[in-house]
Structure 1
Amino acid sequence: MTDSTVEKQVVVRPDPDRLSAAVARRLLSRIAKRVAEGKNAHVSLTGGSMGGRVLSAVAADPRTAEIDWSLVHFWWSDERFVPRGSAERNDTDAYAALLDHIDIPAGNIHTMAGSTDGLDLDAAAAAYADELARFADPAVGAWPSFDVCFLGVGPDAHIASLFPDRPEITVTDRATLPVRESPKPPPERITMTRPVINSSKRVWLVLAGADKASALGLALAGASYQSVPAAGAKGRKRTVFFVDEAAAGKVPPELIDSTY
């Protein structure tokens, strides 16, 4: 597992709309550079309102039509174990916001199993680990090296379905885990583990709203990742918190990167 010493950056935009547009532009630039070199780009998506906003902004950007999406693979860091098509699933929002609007092979979209797919929760988590292993980069582990791993951050500072002071956040010997009795509904979920997230080249945490200010402050202050999971999210090259002004209310000015 990589415990990167790369400094965390904080990028602030005035409001959620301008924040999502800025993140979308940067994501498209990163993908375009990768595919222009003939290389696959692996991107791990997140749910939540900002995850959907970013994907909608990608869909609305004219450059989206110029991308060779056959070289891009989408994954999810976590998913709610409910029936496919449910409004509670992260991938439902992703399809509506972006995936239904681009020319991408179905095999490049790596969704997690739903509760009606014939697998129980443990088997569904294991199946996603097997899918990750099909695209493994031996330099990082039994999973791909994600060019970008998006993460939302909850008011309690959870990331993916790694919640504070629960055993899942400490697991290092597995790629995925079943989550039961989640403190946030629905109760059953599947999540990537911290080693998979932290092997990503770039971890981008996107959060908006005053209710996220405390979680952001704790993550930047170096709190224990067991109690503040967002504090333990670290990319190998970059770790960037993209936030709006409301979420940045408790961030010291010297920590804000005005150039990135």
Structure 2
Amino acid sequence: MRKKTPKQKQEAASATDATGIRLQQPDRSGPKGKTLLQFADDRSLFDRADERQRQLNRERGLPEDTGIIKKKAKPEDDSDSESDDEDDDGPAVSPRAERILDTLLWCISLATLHFTLDVLVQNQYAVSLEWPVVIWRALLALGVFVPLFYNLHRHPLDPRLLFLRSPPVIQDRVRQALFFATSTLAGCYLIHITNNYGYIAVMEQAPPLGCLWVWSVIEMDLAWAVSSLAIAGAFMKLKGYGI
């Protein structure tokens, strides 16, 4: 075995002491060769994945750009690239997660509208408010609106109807016709019961009918919504009803 020199013995002895460890900066010069992203870009793997995603979107009846991250142009300086990276740190929301969050947001608003209409109707007839009953009715309305909204609403990332397999144009026409019929029937029937039925029937039926009417009008395009409201107004005038 080769004997250690006095200098090597001194270095070995000092290595056991933390204060004798030499400090050195890490290598920040960057990769010496190509990275995995550069290899993938050279072989057009990202373009193939985007083309595959577009093909799946066409088969599912979704917009072609759904789920595809658009490439950004290279920034002119490093400061801009750092700020852009900070803005894009958040993960993209999947179509299903977006559908669920959108449904919860809208349905909570509709349940709040049901709660408000219920309170207003009872105040109109000078009935003592039973808050547990009013809250329970609003929760029931929330439970009814969630599946309806989840399946019928035109969600931004996934606008298709889940119960209908057809081209997007046909689905949009079916959706508009469905909400047009719902809006017209709910509006005319609400006008009818408020002018002919007793206060008990009005208190029970007016809040859900009012929510259906408002939601249907919001879901329709402008031409369909105006036509539906015009039919309800013509019905009220033809029957001689008042508001």
TM-score bin, normalised by smaller chain: under 0.3
**TM-score normalized with structure 1 length:** 0.21
Question: More relative contact order in 1 or in 2 (CA 8 Å, sep 6+)?
Answer: 1
Of Structure 1 and Structure 2, which has the larger fraction of its residues in helix?
Answer: 2
Which structure has the larger Rg over C-alpha atoms? Answer: 2
**TM-score normalized with structure 2 length:** 0.22
